[in-house]
Amino acid sequence: MSDWFAVEQVGPGAWLVAEPGHVNCFLVAGTDRAVLVDTGLGIADIGAVVRRLTDRPVLAVNTHGHSDHRGGNRFFADVAAHPAAAAALTSAVPAQALAEYLAVAREQLAAYERIRAVDDRFFHLFGAATRPRPLPPGADAWTVPAGPAPAALAAGERIDLGGRALTVLFTPGHSPDSICLLDEAHGLLFAGDTLITGDFWAHTPDTDIERFAATLRWLDEEVGGSVSTIFPAHTLRYAVGPSFLRRAAAAFANVAAGRSAGVPGADLLRRPALRHDFGDFTILRPMPGAHRASR
């Protein structure tokens, strides 16, 4: 099952632990303990991979309570998140939601297989850390049970790892429980779904577009000048520079103010959404008069 994960060192004591094309998780280690930023889908044992990277005690921190960020919580004894995420993290994920995601995962892998030979010959875009992998054995029996009760993280709290610290930044908008983790000494920002190098999901019931825009403006003003690398939780482009934060903040300001019209389209699960395109990323909003898509 470890073949499902891609591991790549992204800095001193920091690793990408990815499910390529699905979720990017990140391990950050100090001298005393380590933090795993998100635990992914839970379709394979991320804990086994993490134990091969560090022998230090590991705290799993969820950037928010959505199911694709907490699937592997059950593989860890110690979990932490914003208090508003607790109800989601201690509930099982409905089987129907997992079945719908498996259908998308199979569709994605088939698309990759169609372009792999072309990429190998002409473009060389896919590397070891970004090649989508076949679903692991037993995927049809995938379940995400209730996880352990998380310790509550407060805005501004510092998680001491020993010779290294991560600061909790409260970043609501994508969801009311969203946080980012800042490694100020190394200039690293672990962004969860607050920053996405593809489709920003701002069309779900728990998204607040005005709050999202305000959060990104605050984040740019607060850390944009001191961060060198930002690590988003989705798509194959798992690291970007601070200019991406500035552009995302400006785009959200335009969408929130009604200065971007958007065009009818769909999200990853083919559900209707209004798509506001900004080149290398898109902001999804509910279609006028439609019910918001659930996550």
How confident is the prediction for the chain on average, in pLDDT?
95
pLDDT at position 1 is 45
pLDDT at position 246 is 97
Q: Percent of the chain having pLDDT more than 70? A: 97
The reply to whether 231 and 127 lie within a common domain is no
Residue numbers of the domain that contains 15: 8-91+150-285
2 domain residue, yes or no: no
The reply to whether 65 and 106 lie within a common domain is no
Q: What is the pLDDT of residues 17-45, one digit of tens each?
A: 999 999 999 999 999 999 999 999 999 99
1 domain residue, yes or no: no
Residue 174 pLDDT more than 50? yes
The reply to whether 49 and 156 lie within a common domain is yes
The reply to whether 59 and 118 lie within a common domain is no
39 domain residue, yes or no: yes
The reply to whether 101 and 63 lie within a common domain is no
Q: What is the pLDDT of residues 74-83, one digit of tens each?
A: 999 999 999 9
We report the CATH number of the domain holding residue 27 as 3.60.15.10
d(CA 21, CA 18): 8
For the residues 91-113, what does the mean pLDDT come to? 96
The reply to whether 23 and 134 lie within a common domain is no
d(CA 130, CA 24): 10
The reply to whether 122 and 181 lie within a common domain is no
pLDDT at position 2 is 61
Residue 235 pLDDT more than 90? yes
Q: Which helix (H) or strand (E) holds 254?
A: helix 242-256
Give 183's contacts (C-beta < 8 A, 6+ positions apart): 14, 28, 164, 165, 166, 189, 190
Residue 295 pLDDT more than 80? no
Give 124's contacts (C-beta < 8 A, 6+ positions apart): none
Domain total in the chain: 2
Q: Percent of the chain having pLDDT more than 90? A: 94
